[in-house]
Amino acid sequence: MNWFPEIKKNFGFGCMRLPMLENNQVDLKQCEKMIDLFLAEGFNYVDTAHGYIDGKSELAIREFLTKRYPRETYLLTDKLTDSYFKSQEDIRPFFESQLAACGVEYFDFYLLHAQNAVNYQKFRKCRAYETCFELKREGKIRHVGLSFHDKAKVLDQILTDYPQIEVIQIQYNYADYEDTTVESKKVYEVCVKHKKPVIVMEPVKGGTLVNLPEQAQKIFNELQKNASVKLSNASYAIRFAADPENMVMVLSGMSSLEQMRDNLSYMKEYQHLTKEETEAIKRVRRVFLHQNLIPCTSCHYCVEENHCPANILIPDMFSTLNAKRQFDSWNQDFYYQTVLTARGNGAASDCIKCGKCEKVCPQHLPIRNLLVDVAKTFERKKD
């Protein structure tokens, strides 16, 4: 089904992990090269949110995209995020500030951001859904959707309450497919039940499905041993997410021109997964299930806006512990001591257990308990 004819191809540029310079500013030169290639190859969907890179993503988009290209050459998605409004009166000024930050007159898609059972109540109370539908009637939004981070039954309720919602953005990747916390498969099935098109976020699980453990890498290497063109690990993850019928878009948060080139190479002329590829992905998923990895997607919500009073680099700690569990080298211990806990950043054992991070974690991770594991692994007492 052709849900949105204005979408040219089923692959979008997620702007939450744009390339950065050493001075912590977005690398606009590299972004210009990335967007030039993206548009030249026939893609046109770009996604952002106000909180991405502490507000720098929207401003960067104005510089590298909207100032440089006519409005009809791209589709731009932005989002209404919980932390930027307290009442219905706050929503319109915030929305207008997003249009100004991005340098546009309207958004093609506007999503009620990161909906879950708790913040859905606030969005309802503040009439956030109704306000977005009004903005649509005024022509400032072309399509209203939501992005979702909770159990399937919560989504079922929201879509029953608001059947006008036009598109759902969900987490969907082969590692989380049957995960009982993320429920990728079940959430997708609710979208199908309500006849909604779907946008996928986190197809490579924040990079976890790019740098694979050795045992998993062997499976893909074996699959490609006689292939003339070698496919990247990301290609399997992204095509897995793009394959189901209701998927209209897969987003990738690309951080370099090289990643952009790789992704476009297999999404330009889209090929469905073969039986052999599907089988290999199932085997790789089984490797992940046996590794006891923390399913953190590095979204950084828990560390944005001074969420953590102990200044702990939570996602970096989890990826370092995952690397330790996969590769068990001294590199991770060295990194923990010299980078993660240096320059005023807290150690895992500095956690004061306030729980602020867990309230915003879309993966519902027991961050406080996981930091105890991090401390046990990296803060062993010296003899």
Amino acid identity of 59? Answer: L
> Where does residue 87 rank: exposed (0-12), middle (13-18), buried (19+ CB within 10 A)?
exposed
Only one of the segments 101-109, 180-188, 220-228, 299-307 lies at the binding site for ligand SF4 (rule: CB under 6 A); that segment is: 299-307
- Does 175 bind ligand SF4 (CB under 6 A)? Our answer is no
From the list 15, 26, 61, 314, which residue makes contact with ligand SF4 (rule: CB under 6 A)? 314
* Nearest Cα residue to 330 out of 290, 294, 378: 378
Choose which of 52, 187, 315, 317 interacts with ligand SF4 (CB under 6 A): 315
> Strand, coil or helix: what is 4?
coil
Q: How far apart are CA 173 and CA 204, in angstroms?
A: 7
The alpha carbon dihedral of 341, 344, 345, 348 has a sign of: positive
* DSSP-assigned letter for residue 137: H
- How many other CB atoms sit within 10 Å of the CB of residue 327? 12
Binding ligand SF4 by CB under 6 A: which of 92, 368, 373, 377? Answer: 368
Which among 5-13, 181-189, 220-228, 346-354 is the span making contact with ligand SF4, rule CB under 6 A? Answer: 346-354
d(CA 257, CA 251): 16
Out of 204, 296, 317, 374, the only residue in the binding site for ligand SF4 (CB under 6 A) is 296
Q: Does 192 bind ligand SF4 (CB under 6 A)?
A: no
53 near ligand SF4 (CB under 6 A):
no
Q: Is 339 in the site for ligand SF4 (CB under 6 A)?
A: no
Cβ of residue 319: shortest distance to ligand SF4, in angstroms? 9
| 218/368 with CB nearer ligand SF4 | 368
| Residue 365 contacts ligand SF4 per CB under 6 A | yes
Judged by CB under 6 A, which stretch of 31-39, 97-105, 281-289, 364-372 contacts ligand SF4? Answer: 364-372
Q: How far is the CB of 57 from ligand SF4 (least distance, A)?
A: 16
By the 8 A CB rule, do 191 and 168 touch?
A: yes
Report whether 220 contacts 236 (CB < 8 A): yes
CB contact at 8 A, 101 and 59: yes
Residue of the chain from 119, 173, 297, 332 that contacts ligand SF4 (CB under 6 A): 297
How far, in Å, CA of 98 to CA of 105, rounded?
A: 10
Q: Which residues bind ligand SF4 (CB under 6 A)?
A: 296-302, 307-310, 312, 314-315, 351-357, 360-361, 363, 365, 367-368, 371
